[in-house]
Amino acid sequence: MTTPATTDALKSSRLAILGYGSQGRAHALNLHESGLDVIVGVRKGGPSWEKAQADGLRVAEPAEAVKQADLVAVLTPDMVQPALYHEAIAPYLKPNAALLFAHGFNVHFDQIQPRADIDVILVAPKGPGALVRREYEKGHGVPCLYAIHQDASGEARAKVLAYAAGIGGARAMLIETEFAEETETDLFGEQAVLCGGATELVLQGFETLVEAGYKPEVAYYECLHELKLIVDLLHEGGLAKMHQFVSETAQYGDLTRGPRVVNDETRSRMREVLAEIRDGRFAKEWVDEYKAGNGNYRAMKERDLAHPIEQVGATLRARMPWLAPAGG
């Protein structure tokens, strides 16, 4: 599971990082500080251009950065990538160069069909860019998935492992996967558990208590605010640590009532969600929504943010200044 890796395979290469958001900035700075030759490809005059320059990195327009590069990391949002590939990458990328992604969505669902003469690889840190950067600065790293979709040069494996080492992943753990596995499990986790599942469970719990006559403020604390306490325990030590640090009453309620709320019907719905991911229905729906201007997406998001739990939460969080990040 863990693969020894160094940056040696990229020591004489130039790396173009396209995009300077959360992951882009973390990757670019970590690679630069690992002694690799980095150039950031962003729109000239924009805030990302100025930010990368202020961070001490070389910058260029995306197409110009690609022309100079032996490896191009595409770290822009998923829906922007196909146009970026056709306009600024495919016409300019060198033969046998590497094209790297941090999420396999566009390659796996054929939104991008890479040229046959390039390496196509993936390095997906299992954490947000801020964490990737913060752990690197501490001398640590964030575990990464890596995959090889296309090996035109015969050196794709060496390149992908060197890149993962350069951003700090080899300090923690490198796990080999495939584009399909990374993409499908990532989407499923977001939809069924981490974002869709968890937030919907919170909202339904809040609404159940409020409908039964309990104060919204009390419902907020019980169903949303205290969720972090449980997640932190799970994150740090799995189910064992959670059971260790909650009361026996909570444990008994967990073991006897939890399966009544999340049950075989829930599992059946999860299987449906996974099937829609695997056969491409979700990808098509999302791509079509984006191309149509995101009207439905925006409306659904506005309804979500207008939920009463948001108004209650804003009032309560204003009285808990310790929740704000330091300096924020």
pLDDT, residue 328, reads: 43
Contact status, residue 106 vs residue 81, Cβ threshold 8 Å? yes
CA distance 62 to 41: 4
Q: Say whether 302 counts as a known binding-site residue.
A: no
Please indicate, yes or no, whether the overall pTM of this predicted structure exceeds 0.85: yes
Structure tokens at 63: 């197409």
Residues 40-69 have a mean pLDDT of: 96
Q: Say whether 20 counts as a known binding-site residue.
A: yes
Residues of the chain with CATH 3.40.50.720: 8-177
At residue 283, φ and ψ (nearest 5 deg) are -60, -45
The one-letter amino acid code at 293 reads G
pLDDT, residue 4, reads: 62
Structure tokens at 321: 């200044």
Q: Is the pLDDT of residue 17 over 80?
A: yes
pLDDT, residue 5, reads: 79
Q: Is the pLDDT of residue 326 over 70?
A: no
Neighbours of 169 (CB within 10 A): 29
Q: Say whether 48 counts as a known binding-site residue.
A: yes
Residues 287-311 have a mean pLDDT of: 97
User: Coil, strand or helix: which one is 267?
Assistant: helix
Q: Is the pLDDT of residue 36 over 80?
A: yes
Q: What architecture is domain 8-177?
A: 3-Layer(aba) Sandwich (3.40)
Cα-based distances in Å from 184 to 104, 145, 148, 192: 9, 13, 16, 12
Q: Say whether 43 counts as a known binding-site residue.
A: yes
Q: Could you list the active site residues? A: 103
Question: DSSP label at 325?
Answer: P
Q: Say whether 168 counts as a known binding-site residue.
A: no
Work out the angle between the directed axes of helices 47-54 and 22-33 (0-180°, nearest 10).
Answer: 30
At residue 102, φ and ψ (nearest 5 deg) are -105, -5
Q: What is the pLDDT of residues 239-255, one digit of tens each?
A: 999 999 999 999 999 99
> What's the Rg (C-alpha) of the chain?
22
Decide the pairing of beta strands 98-101 and 119-125.
parallel
Strand locations in 84-203 (E): 98-101, 119-125, 144-150, 174-176
Residues 181-195 have a mean pLDDT of: 97
Contact status, residue 119 vs residue 97, Cβ threshold 8 Å? yes
Structure tokens at 152: 């035109």
Q: Say whether 248 counts as a known binding-site residue.
A: no
Work out the angle between the directed axes of helices 281-291 and 295-305 (0-180°, nearest 10).
Answer: 100
CA distance 273 to 281: 10
pLDDT, residue 324, reads: 83
Nearest to 176 by CA among 4, 306, 292, 3: 3
CA distance 168 to 184: 25
CA distance 3 to 145: 11
